[in-house]
Amino acid sequence: MASVLELTDVSFVRNGTRILDSVSWTVDEADRWVILGPNGAGKSTILQLAAANTHPSAGTVEVLGERVGKVDVFELRTRIGLAATNLARRIPAQERVGDVVLTAAYAVTGRWRERYESFDLERAAEVMEAWDLAGLSTRTFGTLSDGERKRVQIARAVMTDPELMLLDEPAGSLDLGARESLLESLADYASSELAPAIVMVTHHVEEIPPGFTHAMLLADGRITAAGPLAEVLTDQHLSDTFGVPLQVRQEAGRWSARAKH
C-alpha cells in the first residue's frame, strides 16, 4: 500500500515555541484518520504541514510521494483537498454557492476550461447533490448558516478530486441535526473505494464518522497514541491526552466519551 503522507521526526517552532515535537506519522492511501487533542495541541499545524502550506523546522514531510521543500508546492497543492475555517474567510460573501463549488475545478483545469466546462458542471451538480447543497446553488455564500458553509467548503475540496483530503473540525459549531447529517455524508464519502486518504481533526470522539480506521492523539505537540481506532481510543489514552479521567464507549460504529467518576 502506498503512503500518501509521511512525517519523520517533525518539529515545528514559531516565536521560540515548540508547537510540534518529534512527530513521526504515516498515512496510507486506504486510511481514514482522525486527529484528537486539547486546544493548542498542534492539530491544525499538522494539517497545514500535510497541506504543504508550511515547512517543518526540523524533520521531513513527504506528501503524495513528494518531499515538501523540494518540489513545486503549487502543483502539489492542487492534489490536496483542504477544508479549514481560515479558507472559508477568503470566499467572497456575494459569490453564489454553485460558483464556489464549480470554481474549485477551474483552479486545477483552468487551461482546459472550454473543453471541460460541461464535465465540470455535471461534476459540480453531482458533488452538490452528495453534500446536500443542491437547493442552495443560487444562494450567496454570505447568506449561509455555519453548517451550510462547512458543507460548501467540503464540496469545494471534493470537487478537485484530491488524492489527500484534509478536514479541520468539519463538524465544529454544528447543531445536533446538522452534525449527524454531515457525519452521514462523511461516512458515505469515506466508504467509497474512489475516496482519497482522509485526515480529519476534531475535538469530540462523537464526531468520528463510521468507517474511519485510525486515530492520532496529540497533546502539547507530541503524539500520545496513534494507530487503529480501537487500539488508540482507550480510557487510558484519552485520559492521558486530555488530562482528565475519561471513559470511552463504542456502539454501532460510533464513539462517545465522558468523565469517569
Ligand X SMILES: Nc1ncnc2c1ncn2[C@@H]1O[C@H](COP(=O)(O)OP(=O)(O)OP(=O)(O)O)[C@@H](O)[C@H]1O
Type of residue numbered 162: P
Which chain residues interact with Mg ion by CB under 5 A? 44
CB of 51 to ligand X, least distance (A): 12
Sheet with 58-63, side-by-side order of all strands: 17-28, 3-14, 58-63, 66-67
CB of 249 to Mg ion, least distance (A): 25
User: Of 42 and 147, which CB lies nearer to ligand X in the complex structure?
Assistant: 42
185 binds ligand X (CB under 6 A): no
User: Of 42 and 209, which CB lies nearer to ligand X in the complex structure?
Assistant: 42
CB of 62 to Mg ion, least distance (A): 23
DSSP E strands: which ranges in the chain? 3-14, 17-28, 32-36, 58-63, 66-67, 80-83, 164-168, 197-202, 214-219, 222-228, 246-251, 254-259
CB of 172 to Mg ion, least distance (A): 9
243 binds ligand X (CB under 6 A): no
From the list 195, 226, 231, the residue with the least C-alpha distance to 211 is 195
User: Of 100 and 171, which CB lies nearer to ligand X in the complex structure?
Assistant: 171
15 binds, among ligand X, Mg ion, none (CB under 5 to 8 A by kind): ligand X
CB of 43 to ligand X, least distance (A): 3
Interface positions, 41-100, toward ligand X (CB under 6 A): 41-45
Total residues in contact with ligand X, by rule CB under 6 A: 12
Radius of gyration in angstroms for the set of CA atoms belonging to the chain, rounded to a whole number: 18
Whole-angstrom Cα distance, residue 251 to residue 7? 32
CA angle 12, 14, 17 (to 5 degrees): 85
14 binds, among ligand X, Mg ion, none (CB under 5 to 8 A by kind): ligand X
138 binds ligand X (CB under 6 A): no
42 binds, among ligand X, Mg ion, none (CB under 5 to 8 A by kind): ligand X
Whole-angstrom Cα distance, residue 162 to residue 78? 7
From the list 208, 212, 218, 221, the residue with the least C-alpha distance to 248 is 208
Q: Do the strands 164-168 and 197-202 form a parallel or antiparallel pair, or are they unpaired?
A: parallel
* Contact flags string 8-47 toward ligand X, x per CB under 6 A: ------xx-x-x-----------------x-xxxxxxx--
**C-alpha cell of 225?**
497514541
- Residues in contact with ligand X by the rule CB under 6 A: 14-15, 17, 19, 37, 39-45
